[in-house]
Amino acid sequence: MNSFESLKTLSEAFGVSGYEDEVVEILKTNFEKYAKVYRDRIGSVIAQKNGTSENPKIMFAAHMDEIGFMVKEITKDGFIKFLPIGGWWDGNLPGMRVKIKNKKGEIIPGVIGLKPIHELSPEERKKLPEIESMYIDVGATQNFVVSEKLGIRPGDPIIPYGQFEQMANTDLLLSKAWDDRIGCALLIDILKELAVIEHPNTVYLVGTVQEEVGLRGAKTSASLIQPDIAFALDVSICRDTPGNGADAKEKLGAGVAILIYDRTMIPHKNLRDFVIELAEINNIPYHLTSIKGGYDTGAIHLTNFGVPSLALGIPTRYVHSASSIISYEDYTNLLKLAVLIVKNLSGEVMEQILK
């Protein structure tokens, strides 16, 4: 499976928080070709790639879960009330096509419904619709059709419908769930690169669960691995769209995003500078950025007595919506930088970073 195939397969996979099974199987199938693979007790999948030295232990984390929804209840008329899983902006939801997975693993299509604009009062039109007023229409008319014939029940997971597309500018890729299936694809490609080179460390490539609901898999997998240094591989915010200003440095094609701040962590400054220097020496485009959200490193860096950590990403348009856009060139640049980090991060270098 090449990078494009991985990106397509992973982005289209069903994997809302707590239901990451499809993504787990994709990662396991690819990991097992090159490394020892195991899981923690809540489901994160770990590939351990041994190098020429046991230490330092380097952890790369990418979360497998995507934002989505969960069935809350079924009305007597056959409509489905639902809960958000992860951070949604309610204004994006009306009219969104979705997929519900029932207890048998069957996919039932639906659409998020809301009172039509023609029926809204003048006051209602001024307000942003709230998720509590929305429902999912699966084309049923009675409760028994939904629960018995379609097998849908409270607790069933829901994701937005999304299809991978290469855009008119063929460097740009459109799909759902780039947050964080780009990171998952990177884990596979990093491991492929490491399989044919020597590296002075042990590398752990981790697909984490339940990042979107509280960095949960990052915490448990880091407790199991006990890493010396850690990186999150994820999306960053793209600010090159109307309303953000022409001078924004966070653009598609702007290279690797090195996070200098997020709400869960201020990165280890020596590790940050080590990565910046690697990028500059090797002519890898990058930019420094910050976000108001958080990354898996927010949980990992607090493991035991502390783990120097850094979040790396690529600019992504329309994160936390049903469709988002990335640059494949940015993806390949982050892959190059991640491999360089592994090749250069020896025990001696780690000691210098920790000074």
Per-residue pLDDT reduced to its tens digit, 294-344? 999 999 999 999 999 999 999 999 999 999 999 999 999 999 999 999 999
- Mean pLDDT of all residues in the chain? 94
Q: Which two tokens stand for residue 327?
A: 């640059």
The answer, yes or no, to whether residue 1 has pLDDT greater than 80, is no
- The mean per-residue pLDDT over the stretch 232-257 comes to 89
- What is the pLDDT, as a whole number, of residue 254? 95
The answer, yes or no, to whether residue 245 has pLDDT greater than 70, is no
- What is the pLDDT, as a whole number, of residue 128? 79
- What is the pLDDT, as a whole number, of residue 248? 82
Q: Could you give the dihedral angle defined by the CA atoms of residues 99, 105, 106 and 108, in that order, rounded to the nearest 10 degrees?
A: -20
Bind-site residues for Zn(2+):
63, 179, 212, 234, 320
The answer, yes or no, to whether residue 64 has pLDDT greater than 80, is yes
Q: Which helix (H) or strand (E) holds 67?
A: none
Nearest-CA neighbor of 133 among 89, 98, 84, 81? 81
The answer, yes or no, to whether residue 140 has pLDDT greater than 90, is no
Please, what are the domains in the chain?
A: 3-66+176-354 (3.40.630.10), 68-160 (2.40.30.40)
The answer, yes or no, to whether residue 246 has pLDDT greater than 80, is no
The answer, yes or no, to whether residue 46 has pLDDT greater than 90, is yes
DSSP 266: P
The answer, yes or no, to whether residue 118 has pLDDT greater than 80, is no
- What is the pLDDT, as a whole number, of residue 3? 80
Q: Which of 211, 277, 348, 351 is catalytic?
A: 211
Contact 92, 236 (CB under 8 A): no
Report the C-alpha gap between 218 and 263 in whole angstroms: 16
Contact 34, 47 (CB under 8 A): yes
Q: How confident is the model at residue 249 (pLDDT cuts 50, 70, 90)?
A: confident
| 211 classed as catalytic | yes
Q: Output 92 or 31, whichever has higher pLDDT.
A: 31
Q: Which two tokens stand for residue 232?
A: 């999150």
